[in-house]
Amino acid sequence: ALAQKQVWPEAIICYRKAIAINPNIPWFYVNLGIALTSEQSWDEAVSAYLHAVQIEPNLTGINQKLGYVLRKRSASGLDSTIATYCQGIEVLASGKNYHKLLGIELDGAEFYINLGNILAKQKLLEGAIVFYSMALQIEPNAAEVVAQLNEVRAKQQELYAQIATYRHQIEIAPSNSQPYNDLGNILPQLGELEEAIICHQKAAELRGWAECAAKDYQFTQDWFTHNIPIWKRHLQEFTGSADFQLVEIGSFQGMSACWLLDNILTHPTAKITCIDLYFQQQFKGNIVKTGAADRVIELEGYSQDLLVNLTSEYYDVAYIDGCHKPTSALQDAILSWRLVKVGGLMIFDDYEFTFPDSPEQDTKIGIDVFLEMFGSQLEVVHKGYQLIVKKIGNQSLGAEQTLLSLGWEKLGEIAANSGYLDEAIARYQTAIKIKSGNYLTYHKLGKALQEKELFDEARAAYQRAIALNP
């Protein structure tokens, strides 16, 4: 209650008393850390968060909080922070390592190494550098940690060079939206959410969406507004249409939904159905700010479970922006196609998205299979980073289960032809799980298993294929 009123000193006293009574509740330490952060008591905040992590390593949002505090602690000098934290470690008579400043007692360096790995993966680089350095204070000869520390330091230099570049671009061309967008997308890595929000509001305003700043939408990431010119071109004819229906798969913080409500779904009877596995708090807050929350239908859960229950040929537009994997994109497309009216549109995001280390998972693969399967029923009206198709026919290619099985089989074949046998096997097995009566799928599965030298499993797949088609 005191924290809600931002009476931080009294809140801190209460949290400390709660911890003294019961020291085993991780959220007591998290709340204490939040209050100490607000008071800019960086070392005490770090200590509070670390105690929370010791009790429960997988607390939601804890790594971002920890990374932010360590960055603020290091603002006056990262090297001095490292020196202070490393000097604070002493070896007890029991052999354990005790950190005097943070009040943390540990058996070895593993706790700090794990934290360093997690923060490095989430690009919370100052925090990762501090924890790797503390780990090396305990285990000076850990060559792997030395390598990780050097890699993170290089990334930190690269990150700050990027930020400096974007700030310079804004300075010399303040009416160019792109550097605001780029800066806003990178600032959350440093925990600077407020500045990121301002950057995205400015980028949106420059791209013709004045309501973003006027209504104070809270977006910390923007992967959408660069699409506004394309969406205006293809959706403008629907502006203000009565009973207009749109279904969106993947809503994140609600940026696309808010733009649609401000610009296209402006009639009192127009509605948007948003599907997401979990609706973030920012989504709910932003939707309220549109003034049209009563025209938003939220469906929480897996899209493959929810789409099958929606009405056929009911929606004017379907927007596919869920999981980037080709299997998910194809599945969402097949299940959504039935829902779109003839003459309606289907918009795919991330058509050109690539996984640098896993090219077999590129989004385009799944969307291209959809285009092949439904080519006679659609017309491509835009192809770029996004793909937009118009539904021109509604002839039936069979039941959805058959189509889904066929799609998974095609994706399996693409993976097999590219040499990704494990992925191919998984896709063939999914195709069979959806619909088990196609002997060709078993034959292709058997071939992939044979190439992997899994001969017993290959034999069983071939035998099943022969049983289905002697």
The last residue of a domain, from among 340, 366, 397? 397
Query: CA–CA separation, 410 vs 444, rounded Å?
Result: 10
Residues 455 and 323 in one domain: no
Is residue 189 assigned to a domain? no
Is residue 244 assigned to a domain? yes
* pTM value > 0.85: no
State both tokens at 132: 């790797």
Confidence of residue 83 (pLDDT cuts 50, 70, 90): very high
Query: CA–CA separation, 403 vs 384, rounded Å?
Result: 26
Give the torsion sign (CA, 388, 394, 396, 402).
positive
Mean pLDDT of the chain: 94
Counting residues of the chain whose pLDDT is more than 90, the rounded percentage is: 87
pLDDT of residue 49: 97
- Predicted confidence (pLDDT) per residue in 439-468, tens digit: 999 999 999 999 999 999 999 999 999 999
Residue 364: pLDDT over 60:
yes
pLDDT of residue 257: 98
Helices 143-172 and 177-186 cross at an angle (nearest 10°) of 150
State both tokens at 86: 């490393």
Task: For residue 95, give the CATH number of its domain.
Answer: 1.25.40.10
Mean pLDDT of 237-253: 97
Residue 334: pLDDT over 90:
yes
Query: CA–CA separation, 422 vs 412, rounded Å?
Result: 10
Residue 398: pLDDT over 60:
no
Residues 122 and 77 in one domain: yes
Residues 6+ apart with CB under 8 A from 134: 85, 86, 89, 99, 109, 112
Counting residues of the chain whose pLDDT is more than 70, the rounded percentage is: 99
Residues 271 and 364 in one domain: yes
Residues 364 and 427 in one domain: no
Confidence of residue 214 (pLDDT cuts 50, 70, 90): very high
Query: CA–CA separation, 420 vs 399, rounded Å?
Result: 29
Residue 397: pLDDT over 60:
no
Is residue 195 assigned to a domain? no
Mean pLDDT of 236-263: 97
Q: Which residues of 36-75 are buried (b: 16+ CB within 10 A; e: fewer)?
A: bbeeebbbbbbbbbbbbbeeeeebeebbbbbbbbbbbbbe
φ and ψ at residue 442, rounded to 5 degrees: -65, -40
How many domains does the chain contain in total? Answer: 3
Mean pLDDT of 26-44: 96
Residue 331: pLDDT over 90:
yes
Strands 245-249 vs 315-320: parallel, antiparallel or unpaired: parallel
Q: Please, are residues 284 and 277 in contact by the beta-carbon 8 Å criterion?
A: no
Confidence of residue 122 (pLDDT cuts 50, 70, 90): confident
Residues 393 and 410 in one domain: no
Is residue 449 assigned to a domain? yes
Residues 6+ apart with CB under 8 A from 208: 228, 232
φ and ψ at residue 357, rounded to 5 degrees: -100, -5
Is residue 167 assigned to a domain? no
pLDDT of residue 151: 96
Sequence length of the chain is: 470
Strands 97-99 vs 104-106: parallel, antiparallel or unpaired: antiparallel
Residues 426 and 291 in one domain: no
Q: Give the SS3 label for residue 299.
A: strand
Question: Which of 265-269's residues contact partners 24+ apart within 8 Å by CB, and which partners?
Answer: 265/292, 265/295, 266/239, 266/240, 267/240, 267/241, 267/242, 267/243, 268/295, 269/242, 269/243, 269/244
Mean pLDDT of 160-177: 96
Confidence of residue 190 (pLDDT cuts 50, 70, 90): confident
Supply the range of the domain harboring residue 437: 406-468
Judging by beta carbons within 10 Å of its beta carbon (0-12, 13-18, 19+), is residue 23 exposed, middle or buried? exposed
Residue 46: pLDDT over 80:
yes
Measured between alpha carbons, how far is residue 66 from residues 47, 131, 265, 306, 410 in Å? Answer: 9, 11, 41, 36, 45
DSSP element (H, E) containing 424: helix 421-434
Residues 415 and 393 in one domain: no
List 20's β-bridge partners, or say none.
Answer: none
Most confident region among 136-145, 256-265, 356-365 by mean pLDDT = 256-265
The last residue of a domain, from among 119, 142, 159? 159
pLDDT of residue 7: 96
Residues 125 and 44 in one domain: yes
Residues 107 and 232 in one domain: no
Give, rounded to a whole angstrom, the gap between the first and last alpha carbons of the chain. 73
Task: For residue 270, give the CATH number of its domain.
Answer: 3.40.50.150
Residues 432 and 320 in one domain: no
Measured between alpha carbons, how far is residue 124 from residues 38, 69, 128, 332, 429 in Å? Answer: 19, 10, 6, 33, 39
Q: Give the SS3 label for residue 73.
A: helix
- Predicted confidence (pLDDT) per residue in 407-446, tens digit: 989 999 999 999 999 999 999 999 999 888 789 999 999 9
Is residue 234 assigned to a domain? yes
The last residue of a domain, from among 159, 177, 194? 159
Is residue 22 assigned to a domain? yes
Is residue 178 assigned to a domain? no
Residues 251 and 338 in one domain: yes
Mean pLDDT of 114-133: 94
Residues 371 and 230 in one domain: yes
Residue 399: pLDDT over 80:
no
φ and ψ at residue 131, rounded to 5 degrees: -70, -40
Nearest Cα to Cα of residue 317 among 264, 262, 280, 353: 264
pLDDT of residue 78: 93
List 316's β-bridge partners, or say none.
Answer: none
Strands 245-249 vs 378-383: parallel, antiparallel or unpaired: unpaired
